[in-house]
Amino acid sequence: MRRISSSLCAKAFLWVFGALAVCSTVIYAVLLTVLPRQYQITSDRRTEQNADALISELGGMSYGDGVEKIYSFCIQNNAAAMLTDGEKTVYFGEIQSDEQTVATSNITADIAFSDGAQYLLVLTSLTQAADRISELMLRFLPVIFCIIVLLSAFSALICSKIIVAPIAEISRISERMTSLDLTCRCKIKSGDEIGVLASNLNTMASRLQSAMAELMEDVKKFRELEEQRKRFFAAVSHELKTPLTVLKGQLENMILGYGDYQNHEKYLPEALKSAKDIEYLVKEIIIISKTENMDLRNTLEDVSLLSSVNETVEALSPIATEKNIKIHQNILNDIIISVNRGLWQKALSNIIGNAVRHSPAGAEAFISLERGNVLTVENTGVFIPENDLSHIFAPFYRADKSRSKSTGGSGLGLYVVKTILDLHGMRCSLQNTPRGVAFSVYLN
């Protein structure tokens, strides 16, 4: 019983089977009741019509022909007749003594034959045939019942398969979907409600699959970001440890007066330089932290690319002049970009500043706008080892450590640039060119 209650196919079979069996039984019962009676009514009506015709014909016949006509009428209409003139009586047919033969109607008429004879005609209709119909229907009732059961079972089986099979298939598919198997799809074979249900389930699975893919991508990015944060703070700890150790050693030795450290005028400037290096590094870390957690939506403004580039070049011109580096600004068509002005200026200053600081004396720097939205800053006279290009945006990564120390680099410049550009949805790349190194920014 529990198995039936949990099976839609079994319940559908039982419901259809029961409905068909009950309907068929009711129909047969109605036929058993109505058919014999209706047959008798029809038979009596036909007999009455034929009797009227007979009476009309007998008026123009002789007595002998009339007798023959009455005899034929009784045989054809399952009736009995009596013809009498008060003295002589003639019977046509007879009512049998069995219980199945019953007189249902009597028709009486005065007949005047053509030869002058006057007679009284009595016609009686019998019900033997109608009662036999009922008897036969009752006799075949077990056979009819078996046929009803078999046909009902077969029809119920077909209906349950046709109707329930698609629903069962949808149920199996949905069960797989609950296990997060979103690759399965329902087969749509019709345009009815079941087909619409299957289509909606397929649509839902597709959307869930897309959402799951996006979620997994977000989780992957989050894990990568978390791993990047771990590496970043590990690098921060390492980078701060060295200048702090140097500064601490210098101050302790000056306080204790060891050896040459008694010369404070010599070592205090070095200690100050170490403190400034630490200060600069901490400021860069604070900028990165603020940038990564910033919401730009309310801080964006329209900025002229040409104006921002000219402003940065002007700020770096003293360093360029000192190293005899010429900066060529080749932006012919100005464009307006939507950025956070402060962050954009910081990124631009780092990009052009790196081109100036890391180029040898007498080199050149070229700033151009290519293909309408690619800002390129190229400096000559210096190259980056190919093995270092894939790591160049990592925090505290230095392709040339001796060069970075001499120029005061913290190793965070390009990491800050990439963080700012990622926040604005802009891509960037760094590659070697035949004459140097080119940094490209793909503007929105």
Task: Decide: helix, strand or coil at residue 105.
Answer: strand
pLDDT range class, residue 400, cuts 50, 70, 90: low
Whether residue 337 contacts residue 302, with contact meaning beta carbons closer than 8 Å, is answered with: yes
Whether residue 429 contacts residue 417, with contact meaning beta carbons closer than 8 Å, is answered with: no
State the amino acid at position 419 in one-letter form.
Answer: T
pLDDT of residue 403: 41
pLDDT of residue 440: 94
Residue 94, pLDDT above cutoff 80? no
pLDDT of residue 314: 92
pLDDT of residue 325: 92
| Alpha-helical regions (H) of 257-322 | 264-292, 305-322
Q: Name the pairing type of β-strands 336-339 and 118-126.
A: unpaired
Least confident of 1-5, 8-12, 45-49, 54-58: 1-5
Mean pLDDT of the chain: 80
The residue with greater pLDDT, 132 or 112, is 112
Q: CA-CA distance, 5 to 170, in Å (whole number)?
A: 19
Q: What is the pLDDT of residues 306-344, one digit of tens each?
A: 999 999 999 999 999 999 999 999 888 899 999 989 889
- Element (H or E) spanning 108, and its range? strand 103-112
Whether residue 125 contacts residue 105, with contact meaning beta carbons closer than 8 Å, is answered with: yes
pLDDT of residue 136: 76
pLDDT range class, residue 389, cuts 50, 70, 90: confident
Residue 100, pLDDT above cutoff 50? no
Residue 120, pLDDT above cutoff 70? yes
Q: What is the pLDDT of residues 262-300, one digit of tens each?
A: 777 777 888 887 788 777 777 777 777 777 667 777 888
pLDDT range class, residue 7, cuts 50, 70, 90: low
Indicate the pTM of the whole model: 0.49
Whether residue 122 contacts residue 89, with contact meaning beta carbons closer than 8 Å, is answered with: no
Contacts of 278 by beta carbon, 8 Å cutoff, 6+ apart: 240, 243, 244, 247
pLDDT of residue 192: 67
Residue 366, pLDDT above cutoff 90? yes
pLDDT of residue 409: 57
Q: Is the dihedral of CA 38, 43, 48, 50 positive or negative?
A: positive
pLDDT range class, residue 98, cuts 50, 70, 90: very low
Q: CA-CA distance, 243 to 410, in Å (whole number)?
A: 12
State the amino acid at position 239 in one-letter form.
Answer: E
Least confident of 97-101, 106-110, 177-181, 433-437: 97-101
Residue 435, pLDDT above cutoff 60? yes
Please give the average per-residue pLDDT across 245-259, as a whole number.
Answer: 80
Whether residue 148 contacts residue 25, with contact meaning beta carbons closer than 8 Å, is answered with: yes
Residue 337 — φ and ψ, nearest 5°?
A: -120, 150
Please give the average per-residue pLDDT across 44-68, as a whole number.
Answer: 84
pLDDT of residue 124: 83
The residue with greater pLDDT, 304 or 140, is 304
> What letter would DSSP give residue 260?
G
Both ends of the chain: CA-CA distance in Å? 68
Residue 439, pLDDT above cutoff 90? yes
Least confident of 20-24, 128-132, 244-248, 281-285: 128-132
Least confident of 4-8, 86-90, 130-134, 178-182: 4-8
Name the percent of the chain lying above pLDDT 70.
86
State the amino acid at position 68 in one-letter form.
Answer: E
pLDDT of residue 307: 93
pLDDT range class, residue 101, cuts 50, 70, 90: very low
